[in-house]
Structure 1
């Protein structure tokens, strides 16, 4: 997959984030508007308070008048400060909620809803890591982007107010101050460009680190880690990736501190020069103490507001790049049909006929196709087995049929209709699939079978499916029956199933969905040959009115199928019933004899 990375302009990003925040929590946007003028107003009031006091003292104003003026301004400052604190606290809560709920939900929803084909690419995972880093990274400015724009507006108000005060003293202060802080801002922009250049490399570093740390903590790997003494190996991998991540953090932090030192240097130099000039004016002019205090505070305030303006603009530039990363992941284009599609087969149109026409699939950057120009018709209600050595293309083929992969060339037809013409999510309803790596949810037995909310579960249908799958007796023996929790890693007191019991539970799941096409991709690989054969015979009995595709590397388990397809190097090399293929004396017969010999030797032992 070669995705063209988009660069959105500033106004597009602002509009995008405003719309997301407004849809999630309107009060957050309103709070930013309310906060914008408050801090600037407080700063101006605080700057004028000493001037008023000193002017009153210098002019020998009546004490009661002085007290009244100071009291009113103090009350105004306290009120503004209290209001700002309340609004800021609510704004902070809103930002955290937006980050932890809205932004997380957008990423998780994209991960679960994008074309499966897209999600298999490493480039997609790098984009996902960059989007995640844009939320949780060092500056996390996707969640703060709207807030940063409010900070820029507030800083501009404060900067403008103190500019007006300083101009009254000496307008030449302004270009000197702007030049000095402009140099500082240029440093921040160079630093930001360097960070952007490093983003892909950094995302790959953290992707590897997160993968290794996840695997080291995964309960399903705990036995292997101990038996094979893998802890040292994994820790060396973790240390290696931690060193890489730490090296990046050191470089980034050094760049940040250098820019901070540069900014502080200019800030100190400008302030020192301005203070010397004010002292000179006071000693050589009729400047009042009040004016001296006001200008003195204004220069400090001007520097603070300009510094804040520069910092917030720099953060917005960084934030805009982070929003780009966030949007680039969410905007990964799906190729499959998500709009209105052809009507799914129903009633007399079932069971379905499946036809593959010149079907080819090439994995991204692979040198040769995994499925190579396959043409095959599966009749209504027919049960076929797809067999072959590892890497022959069996799993890729069934993923093409059930719509997880998009064909590089050719078509998959369902009752004569191109599968691409169906709505993608509706098309999935045609299939009940069992894969070798099926997983359980940390939920009840009932929810794991029905895969829906409890209020939507049809318990009569649930019990019937468990009975047909041969798991009802086991479930009835559990403490809470079908309401018993699974996955011990999440729930204390949850139960675990044996391999055979797990397969029966997953069979009940497939039966509950009751789709017209059944696809079983080596779900019983972990079982012994006899248990696998029994399980497949059970599948065959329960799916007699459906079109079914079975994949197994054990040829003895698929003899009951109407037809067996032997794949090799992505092509169909033999096709027929079990007896026909044995009499042909080809590759299938050779593989069957080899496996039979192995099982006969095992039986003798």
Structure 2
């Protein structure tokens, strides 16, 4: 995630993509071609030397100049690619946006179409100006290149015609030398061009390697004999953890220290931007802490192989996603053919979704949306939320995390979902992020986040007795619901 949000990584990606478009895979073909040209060069040289050795030196001099100009011309193409990276990044975002149906309603109902088209036109105009400048520079090199080719040809023909006029060579030798010089010139020019292209492709191959060599910042430290089985349980400990996002110095989390014993249910609350979701991202190793460390059963989570670590986590994200696959595949993931249908329906029934799925013609094998199958079904936002929750429960992982996935539900529906989830995840470590204080009453402990710090921590009763920020926020929300009830 840190790489995806880094503009420098996109720049490397853009340069690598551009290099692939130039067919750098032809590098081997160029090597093969240059060997053939060397053989032609040797054969033609033997004949030309009998006329005058200086001709070879003159042709080589012109070839060097032509190769130099060709190299300069190719460099202007790469300079254009580098200069257009910013525009390509913006265009890539707009392209992805207009091709994503999730944005369709906003684009239509808010009339954003003109704004997007305007931005695309602005980007195209900027790219056109840079392209025009690049082509202008390239054209100058092209004119110089072809002018030198003309001078070279004129000099060779002039010398041969003069030699024939002075009866230094016969008609047959004239044609022999002309053909040999042309072959020598073409072979040498081709070798020069290929050498320049190979040099240029070497640079472009480096662009590809530069992108491909980006290493994941989240790989384990590869300590031997370290894994989930070396952890003494699943208790979680944050030790002086601090974090700021890439290309930003603002600390989102500051000196966070907390221990979550195995089997405890923790609710994290606080205002928007307090660092709640970032806390979960660090626990999931979507990012690594800028400062401090996180431990699982006494083992630093950086030392645990990533896939092995993720296998013990079940998460319902705030921006949860379902795929355009079957209902069963969306819940079971992995090998859906080995999924336990009875267990899936048990979970769906608990979430009041079983009857809905049974009513579908293909039941659990019904496709969502119509990207893969024409008879795919569209589900409501609330139904998709329940499928995302069912997926996490079905995984039966020892650590269960919910990052405000029910924020779109009303307070009563949200409370019902949380009560069901608490019941179905009994004896598991549960971490819930909620913007509604009332759900915190179900937890063993509550952590109140404020400006990246845990400012209050304890049971519901303890925090209410302290009458601090949690207490004030709880009653602000309670007052809002009471006012709504009276207005009804």
| TM-score, normalised via structure 1 length | 0.75
Shift of residue 198, structure 1, vs aligned partner: 5.4
Superposed CA deviations along residues 207-237 of structure 1, whole A, max 9, x for unmatched, are 1111112212321111101111111111111
Distance 1:514 1:154 in 2: 65
Say whether residues 1:244 and 2:118 are aligned partners.
no
Q: In the alignment, which of 155, 174, 180 is matched to residue 298 of structure 1? A: 180
Say whether residues 1:435 and 2:317 are aligned partners.
yes
Moved more, 575-584 or 232-241: 575-584
Say whether residues 1:565 and 2:450 are aligned partners.
no
Say whether residues 1:124 and 2:12 are aligned partners.
no
Aligned to 2:220: 337
What aligned pairs does 1:480-499 form with structure 2 within 5 A after superposition? Answer: 480-488=362-370, 491-499=373-381
Whether contact under 8 Å (1:499, 1:527) holds in the other structure is no
Shift of residue 590, structure 1, vs aligned partner: 1.4
Q: In the alignment, which of 193, 199, 218 is matched to residue 311 of structure 1? A: 193
Shift of residue 200, structure 1, vs aligned partner: 4.2
Report the structure, 1 or 2, having the larger helix content.
1
Aligned to 1:100: none
Moved more, 216-225 or 594-603: 594-603
Moved more, 428-437 or 167-176: 167-176
> Structure 1: which 5+ runs fail to align?
1-115
Moved more, 281-290 or 431-440: 281-290
3-state SS, counterpart of residue 544 of structure 1: coil
Shift of residue 349, structure 1, vs aligned partner: 5.7
Distance 2:370 2:186 in 1: 55
What aligned pairs does 1:83-98 form with structure 2 within 5 A after superposition? Answer: none
Distance 1:457 1:386 in 2: 33
Superposed CA deviations along residues 318-375 of structure 1, whole A, max 9, x for unmatched, are 22222111111111133431645512149x965x211111111122332331110011
Aligned to 2:31: 149
Say whether residues 1:233 and 2:115 are aligned partners.
yes
Runs of 4+ in 1 over 6 A off after TM superposition: none
Larger RCO: Structure 1 or Structure 2 (Cα < 8 Å, ≥ 6 residues apart)? 2
Distance 1:471 1:225 in 2: 32
Aligned to 2:241: 359
Whether contact under 8 Å (2:51, 2:177) holds in the other structure is yes
Distance 1:150 1:188 in 2: 20
Distance 1:179 1:441 in 2: 63
Superposed CA deviations along residues 268-307 of structure 1, whole A, max 9, x for unmatched, are 2211221222233334347454443332223333333333
| TM-score, normalised via structure 2 length | 0.91
Distance 2:190 2:397 in 1: 61
Distance 2:401 2:40 in 1: 66
Structure 2 CA distance for partners of 1:312 and 1:486, relative to 1, 3 Å: farther
Aligned to 2:409: 527
Distance 1:585 1:464 in 2: 41
Superposed CA deviations along residues 1-31 of structure 1, whole A, max 9, x for unmatched, are xxxxxxxxxxxxxxxxxxxxxxxxxxxxxxx
Shift of residue 432, structure 1, vs aligned partner: 0.9
Superposed CA deviations along residues 226-279 of structure 1, whole A, max 9, x for unmatched, are 111111111111111111222233233333333232222111221122122223
Q: In the alignment, which of 268, 273, 279 is matched to residue 391 of structure 1? A: 273
Distance 1:221 1:163 in 2: 67
Shift of residue 121, structure 1, vs aligned partner: 2.1
Say whether residues 1:211 and 2:96 are aligned partners.
no
Structure 2 CA distance for partners of 1:288 and 1:449, relative to 1, 3 Å: farther
Structure 2 CA distance for partners of 1:536 and 1:130, relative to 1, 3 Å: farther
What aligned pairs does 1:245-284 form with structure 2 within 5 A after superposition? Answer: 245-284=127-166
